[in-house]
Structure 1
Amino acid sequence: MQNILITGGSGLIGKRITALLEAKGKTVAWLSRSQQSQKSFLWDVEKGKIDPEALEWADAVIHLAGAGVADKKWTDERKKLILESRTKSTQLLHQAIEQATMKPDTFISASAIGYYGFDTGTNLMEESSPAGHDFLADVVIQWEAEVKKIESLHLRTVMLRIGIVLDKEGGALGEMLKPPVAAPLGKGDQWMSWIHIEDLANMFVFALEKTTLQGIFNAVSPNPATNYRLTHEAARAKGKPFIGIGVPGFVLNLILGEMSQMVTGGNRVSSQKIQKAGFDFEFPILIPALKDIFNG
């Protein structure tokens, strides 16, 4: 029986991964600031504290922890939290793994397609494509650098650069369909590299179980869509009115500030590397993915 330790386990993705792993007979525990109904070990990233038993217990770690990027307006304080919740949590895990006498053999970390920059136009971004030069790209660069330090401890390390996660319970779809009438953002021609939450959770399990897998992989569906199309199809799948006139960029900037660049820009990202490694998508096409989410 394999013991899997998950950070950020109580989030949407973490809960889904937990359910999949437990269905496969694996024992799952969460690293948490408080005791959970789920088996858990305590840690406190701000205080730099972690239960040393956690890493002695774990055969593998799935690292999902990090403050939500789109949850609140980007004040200087919020930006600091977005960065440090990722870098400091990874540093704490590195320290605990280094000190453990029985170390996990696998470390799988979330990352983000924000690495490529806010707006890469129509270019197809691959894992080897250059990093962007904005706030989110800088966050991902620093985050991945900390994960690479864990790799140097001779653990098999996988990083999944996650795109826009489609799920009924929240995330991007919840925000897009919150207004009474759905509408594209900005011009609407910006690319959105999306992934169904089920495929994302399955990809983490795939990365765990395929012991030859190592390195960085884009966690996006094979068929990105424009903001216009994604919004239109999501509204249709939910039975919500759609208006084809985009919310102007200056309005989004007034409401969201710097964060507006994240929604008016876009990325067209390739999933070819993970597919070549043997991963099969259950929902590679947008309309069936949305139908499953809203009617499944």
Structure 2
Amino acid sequence: MQNILITGGSGLIGRAITRLLEEQGKTVAWLSRNPEKYGQKAFFWDPSTQKIDHEALYWADSIIHLAGEGVADERWTASRKNEILESRVKSSRLLYEELRTLKDKPKVFVSSSAVGYYGFDTGDKLIYEGEPAGKDFLAGVVKKWEAEIEKINDTGIRTVIFRTGIVLAKEGGALKEMLKPPVAAPLGSGKQYMSWIHVEDLARMYIYAMENHGLSGIYNAVGPVPVTNRVLTERAASFRGKPFVNLGVPAFALKLLLGEMAQMVLGGNRVSSEKIQGAGFRYKYGDLNQALQQIFV
């Protein structure tokens, strides 16, 4: 499988996957609204109008689907919440509608999803893939998103869905936001669990799923050792050389600042990686100190 088509390729995870695939000698193309914008082979698509360059799907041996508006990029107004949902559902639906008509289909479809499926706050219970969906906004989004992706499996294409946790990376993501203030501090009680994964391990997981024919269905894409918000913040601050104060940012202040989105940072999930490890995947940065050292040192 030499030709890999990626949606959301210009994002943090997409770029990491692209880099690893190209190092392996694979050819990568992105689906993009602005194919000429990047120095990457790209095909046009626009999920909002359900348009796509059909040549892209004929070209692809495998598809990695990461597209979707950033959940934490803006305050959750009614229109923003709709954008978050529609960007995921419409993009997945467009791919399904096109793929089901193809005679010569790609061999595998690996899609992003989110641990948000389980709900904003599942306490300290260890969460496996068979748990029911939560009742909040994000859980509803992920449930509808996955329902669209699962249709692709019905076309005969092997389909893998990764419920992704908090991605740790040098280039962006959660760490950048956590360490933005002059002094690092836990959020709320700091006791909420954060199921983190190093971006390189996540990229390697996508490639592993693509190349291993025994994998299909839903897997949690998290590291093997979830930690509390306080532990992650304190250790990240230490590796970054930043002061840490063990006084939680009050929940009411976060609610004033973030609105409904505050539930996402005040809650947490302790998510199991047992299933993907049982499928043979091995982490390069499974230990938090090891992961933070690679990022900051």
TM-score, normalising length: structure 2: 0.98
Partner deviation per Cα, 1:80-121 (whole Å, 9 max, x = no partner): 011110000000001111222321111000000000000000
Q: Displacement, 1:212?
A: 1.2
Report if the CA contact (8 A) 1:30-1:39 is conserved: yes
Aligned partner of 1:17 in structure 2 is 17
Match of 2:137 in 1: 135
1:74 aligns with 2:87: no
* 3-state secondary structure, aligned to 2:72: coil
Query: Aligned residue for 2:239?
Result: 237
8 Å Cα contact 1:52/1:100 also seen in 2: no
Looking at structure 2, the residues matched to 99 and 149 of structure 1 have their Cα atoms a distance apart, in angstroms, of 13
Q: C-alpha deviations, 1:199-243, integer Å up to 9, x for none?
A: 000000100111111110000001000000000000001000110
The 3-state SS of whatever aligns with 2:100 is: helix
User: What residue number does 1:102 align with?
Assistant: 104
Q: Is 1:125 matched up with 2:120?
A: no
Give the Cα–Cα distance (whole angstroms) in 1 for the partners of residues 271 and 243 of structure 2: 29
Matches of 1:172 and 1:118, distance apart in 2: 16
The separation in 2 between residues aligned to 1:149 and 1:219, in whole angstroms, is: 21
Which residue identity is paired with 2:126? L
Map of 2:284 onto structure 1: 282
- Helix, strand or coil for the counterpart of 1:99? coil
After superposition, the C-alpha distances for 1:48-95 in whole angstroms (9 at most, x for unaligned) are: 100011111111100000000011100001100111100000000011
1:148-182: per-residue Cα shift (whole Å, max 9, x none)? 11110010000000000000111100100000100
- For 2:230, the equivalent position in structure 1 comes to 228
**Where does residue 170 of structure 2 map in the other structure?**
168
Measured on the aligned residues, the alpha-carbon RMSD in Å equals: 0.7
Match of 1:27 in 2: 27
- State the AA in 2 paired with 1:276: G
CA distance in 2 between counterparts of 1:123 and 1:133 reads 17
- SS state at 2:63 partner: strand
Task: Output the amino acid matched with 2:158.
Answer: R
Q: Give me the whole-angstrom Cα distance separating, in 2, the residues matched to 1:259 and 1:187.
A: 17
Looking at structure 1, the residues matched to 15 and 192 of structure 2 have their Cα atoms a distance apart, in angstroms, of 31
Within 5 Å, give how 1:157-236 maps onto structure 2. 157-236=159-238
Distance between the aligned counterparts of 1:238 and 1:110, measured in 2? Answer: 29
Whether the 8 Å CA contact 1:31–1:41 is kept in 2: the answer is yes
Matches of 2:201 and 2:193, distance apart in 1: 20
The match for 1:152 is 154
| Cα drift, residue 270 of structure 1 | 0.2
Give structure 2 stretches of 5+ with no counterpart: none
Distance between the aligned counterparts of 2:58 and 2:212, measured in 1? 22
Deviation at 1:129, TM superposition (A): 1.0
In structure 2, the partner of 1:262 is 264
Report matched runs for 1:48-63 at 5 Å: 48-63=50-65
In structure 1, list runs of 5 or more residues that go unmatched: none
Tell me whether 1:272 sits opposite 2:277 in the alignment.
no
TM-score by length of 1: 0.98
Q: How many corresponding residue pairs? A: 295
Mapped to 2, the partners of 1:16 and 1:182 lie a distance apart of 27
In the aligned structure 2, how far is the partner of 1:55 from the partner of 1:159? 19
Q: What amino acid is the match of 2:20?
A: L
2:49 aligns to what SS in structure 1?
coil
CA distance in 2, matches of 1:215, 1:73: 32
Aligned partner of residue 30 in structure 1, secondary structure: strand
- Percent of aligned positions that are identical: 62
Structure 2: which amino acid aligns with 1:270?
S
Decide whether the 8 Å contact of 1:165 with 1:171 is kept in 2.
yes
Match of 2:92 in 1: 90
1:28 partner SS: strand
Q: Which residue identity lines up with residue 62 of structure 2 in the other structure?
A: A
SS at match of 1:62: strand
- Cα contact 1:182–1:240 (8 A) shared by 2: yes
